[in-house]
Chains A and B, each alone.
Chain A
Amino acid sequence: MGVLNLASVGTGGPVPRILVIEDDPETAEEIAACLTASGFESSRCFDGPTGLEAAMNEQFDAITLDRMLPGLDGLALVKALRDAGSDAPVLMVSALSDVDDRVDGLRAGGDDYLIKPFAPKELIARLEVLLRRHQTSGAEVRLRVADLELDLVKHEAVRDGRRIELLPMEFQLLEFMMRNAGHLLTRRMIFEKVWEYYFDPGTNLINVHVGKLRRKIDGPGLLPLIRTERGQGYMLYAP
């Protein structure tokens, strides 16, 4: 897993630097350990004001931000950061899981919202997607991974020259996976980004949706593009 992550994020470029703003030392330690294991570099801040100062003065590739911080809370911090013109991707981390809290967090300028308690892999997966999104424009009309092509204008998927019939949700799922090709996507992330629901969908629901999509695109005799990361999620990549 670690090798794959390194391959996907560090293709010869500099190692991404992540600022971790978290007041609980143990959680901060855990996040930092996770980041290091996945090939990131991390700095830590334990309260709002120093976090904001660090985010303003140094260049970070992404920030994980606890919602409730001493001194200056996460919402105010991300707002101040955006007002100052910073567009570093921010992953808000919070124990408040309600949809309204999520909306508040995203409205204040956060890019994604992760609920405590979380699995470390979930955090890494979301950060990678944020880093990736930051690099792409989002204005593409055609996505391509290996011999799989997705035409966003004609709403058409073609693999190996053969057209694949997809239902609307399957198309959206495939688009999401292709946009984030090479990154681990957890079930929860898929459910949130594709279906836009924020509750726990249970383990199997996303599995069967991905399974159905996989049967359509990874036909017999073709190289499998969708790979299952056991117990964690899925990754679409060109082998």
Chain B
Amino acid sequence: MRLSEIWRTTTFRLSLLYFLLFALGAVALLALVYVRSAVYLTQRVDRILAAEASAEMTLPRSALRQTIDDALIVNSRNSLFALFAADGTRLTGNLRRLPEGLQPGGHPVEMAPTADFPASARLVARRLPSGDILVVGRAIDQLREIRRIIASALIWSGVLTIVAGLACGVALSVGPLRRLRKLQAAAHHIAAGDLRRRMPVSSRGDELDMFALTVNYMLGEVERLMGEVKTSSDTIAHDLRTPLTRVRAQLHRLGLGAAVDPADIARVTAELDEVLERFIAILRISELETRARSAGFAATDLSRLLQQAGDLYQPLAEEAGVQLTVSATPGMIVDADAKLLFEAVSNLVDNAIKFSGKGGEVRLQLDGRPEGPRLIVQDDGPGVPAEERTAVLQRFYRSERDKLTPGSGLGLSIVAAIVRLHRFGLELQDSGPGLRVVIECHPVDVNI
């Protein structure tokens, strides 16, 4: 796992961003603490200065000088006391000159450290009744001290936050990256052909697991489809081997004989025609499966469509000795590809006639139902065994009964492909005896 990979992970970036935001918050908090304490301390100093000045102003002139001197003996480091004459000459105290900008009776001012008083100070001046000027001051180095403490707190906490952020980011990214590696490894195996393999899923149920589960679902579908494709190609291969082997044998026999009988040629040709027919049906199914759904869709009159299918197949039914009846509720209109739907119905009717046999009956029926029109093609032939009913709808599946009759045998697969394209429903039922094919001509959610 390279460092550059960790930098790029979302977890890392998010944790870094989170810690930066946290640092900003801390700066703001400390700044607020500083401002509030500075204001508070300044006000407090100002109040003390005002109180001291007021107290000293009440003293008589002679006592005042003594008081100042006494006070300075006690605390000349933090306190400033000075008395100036009206013309600005110093009378006593630890301030050499009257600072500029300090107005008697005015607002307190700040003074930078000097040689006499090596700390910043806040001063206030008062004019005494005698005309002298009294200056009272206090060192305000506490404020600077607090500023320094807060600044160092800022720097240290900032450094710590960033280091902790980086560490957390790395630590948090390593886990997911490791899991991602496992997912990648699984994906490589799957890409290499191991379709049984699945993405590892942890018990956490986090976003990676959600993703892995989605991929696993997809893999399941892919595996199913691949299996279906394999089954289909196996089916096709098996189906075609028989007639092709027969053709080969017949050609071989023809090659041995001296005279060629046109009947033999006709037989071989018929056999090959059947193979060709099956290929055409296979191509047709693939074509239907890849077709864009909405292609020839339009409002389609199902009742008319059924009537036309009945008309088209009536002569065939008559010849086969089958009674074909059409009963369609008029005015059933659905959004469909009329040509394709007609092809599906034709296939069903063709099959029904084929399997009903002489004296049989085929019924074409269209009912209006609350959820949508329902189209039924029913025969009284041998039917399809229950266990084969879903299989015959799969691509390229030829049921046992189809193998005994001419034709591609893929009619039902074509019907299923057309119905699937329409997202309609398709069901094979037992009509005791016989087969009943029901097409629900409205969108149905069930996968077929």
Contacts and interface: CB of A to CB of B under 8 A. Distances in A.
Interface of A: 95-100, 115, 117, 119, 169, 195, 197-205, 208-209, 211-212, 230-231
Contacts of B316: 204-205, 208
Contacts of A230: 266
A97 B287 contact: yes
Interface of B: 266, 269-270, 273, 276-277, 279-281, 283-284, 287, 291, 295-296, 311-313, 315-316, 318-319, 339-340, 342-343, 346, 350, 406-408
A182 B83 CA distance: 142
Contacts of A209: 315
Given A97-B280, A117-B280, 6 more contacts: A97-B284, A97-B287, A195-B312, A205-B313, A205-B316, A211-B315
Contacts of B287: 96-98
Contacts of B313: 205
Contacts of A119: 273, 276
B296 A99 contact: yes
Contact of B319 (A96, A199, A201, A208): A208
Given A98-B291, A100-B296, A169-B311, A205 B350 contact: yes
Nearest to A103: B296
A209 B319 CA distance: 10
Nearest to B290: A98
B280 A115 contact: yes
Contacts of B340: 99
Greatest chain B CB density within 10 A among A98, A119, A203 is at: A98
A231 B273 contact: yes
Closest 9 pairs (CB-CB, A-B): A208-B315, A199-B343, A208-B319, A208-B316, A212-B315, A98-B287, A202-B350, A205-B316, A209-B315
B306 to A, nearest CB: 15
B312 A205 contact: yes
Nearest to A99: B339
A95 B283 contact: yes
Given A97-B287, A98-B291, A197 B315 contact: no
Contacts, number: 58
B407 A202 contact: yes
The B interface is mostly helix, strand or loop, or mixed, namely: helix
B295 to A, nearest CB: 6
Contacts of A203: 406-407
Contacts of B295: 100
A211 B269 CA distance: 23
Contacts of B280: 97, 115, 117, 200
Contact of A117 (B279, B291, B406): B279
Contact of B346 (A97, A115, A199, A212): A199
A231 B270 contact: yes
Given A97-B284, A119-B273, A231-B273, A197 B266 contact: no
A99 B291 CA distance: 11
A197 B342 contact: yes
A209 to B, nearest CB: 6
Contacts of A231: 266, 269-270, 273
B136 to A, nearest CB: 102
Nearest to B410: A200
B288 to A, nearest CB: 8
A175 B318 CA distance: 24
Which has the most chain A C-beta neighbours within 10 Å: B277, B280, B284, B407?
A: B280
Contacts of B269: 231
Nearest to B317: A208
A47 to B, nearest CB: 25
Contacts of B319: 204, 208, 211
Contacts of A98: 287, 291
A115 B312 CA distance: 23
B273 A197 contact: no
Nearest to B349: A205
